[in-house]
Copies of this chain bind each other. A is one copy, B any other.
Amino acid sequence: MKNLAIIEDDEELRGMLYKFLNHQDEFRCTMSVNSIEAFLKELNEENAPDIILSDIGLPGRQGDESIRMIKDKLPNSDVVMLTVHDDAERIFKCLQGGASGYLLKNSPLEEIKHYLSILSIGGSPMSPRIARKVIEYFQPKKKLEKPLSEREYDIVLALVEGLSYKMIADKYDISLDTVRQHIRNVYRKLNVNSKGEVITKKLRGEI
């Protein structure tokens, strides 16, 4: 039996969620409020939730801010976002803020219940469309017009690891000038002119 808090400013939806979820054996709704402020105010030892189902689009707040405020008070709770927004930026901000799941508001109540029960088996509830966005995040956005050679790629990886030119030369047993030459070529192919830009591109999956 998990304690559940619902934070949602749409009275109708909140009422429905409360009524439905509170009837389930797995959950007990100890809080049902319309804002983060109300949530933090009402919070006490008795009603401390294991799971917080929270709207993201609460007035005057960024969504990921809300999560941070909650996780700050309840670091071991699972915060599940409930939202109509499926844009990549919002999703990632929330995930970085510590959200344990991300559900779309158009999900049926039964499905929401099912998703929430996934938390108890160590999983993360995520609507399929959100999962798609997240997966796409990992995939290289576009093929390079000018692909890097193997050696050049080695050197990019070394840069990401924080190695200096000198250290790279030692690692691959080539001269410092050769490292310079390779890096020149990498810069030309990637159309950049600093180490930092190469690292950023690599870690963002653009290489």
Contacts and interface: CB of A to CB of B under 8 A. Distances in A.
A1 interface: no
A139 B101 CA distance: 12
A131 to B, nearest CB: 4
Contact of A100 (B95, B100, B135): B135
Tallying the copies of this chain within the complex gives 2
Interface in A172-207: 192, 194-197, 199-200, 203-205
A188 B181 CA distance: 32
27 contacts: A92-B138, A95-B139, A96-B139, A96-B140, A96-B205, A100-B132, A100-B135, A101-B135, A118-B128, A121-B129, A122-B129, A123-B127, A123-B128, A123-B129, A123-B131, A123-B132, A124-B129, A124-B131, A124-B132, A134-B135, A160-B200, A162-B192, A162-B196, A162-B200, A196-B199, A203-B203, A203-B204
Given A125-B128, A194-B164, A138 B199 contact: no
Given A138-B95, A161-B200, A203-B203, A122 B131 contact: no
Nearest to A199: B199
Contact of A135 (B124, B128, B138): B124
A5 interface: no
Contacts of A92: 138
A98 interface: yes
A95 B127 CA distance: 18
A81 to B, nearest CB: 11
B95 A135 contact: yes
A36 interface: no
A99 B138 CA distance: 10
Contacts of A95: 135, 138-139
A195 B164 CA distance: 11
Contacts of A162: 192, 194, 196-197, 200
A87 to B, nearest CB: 14
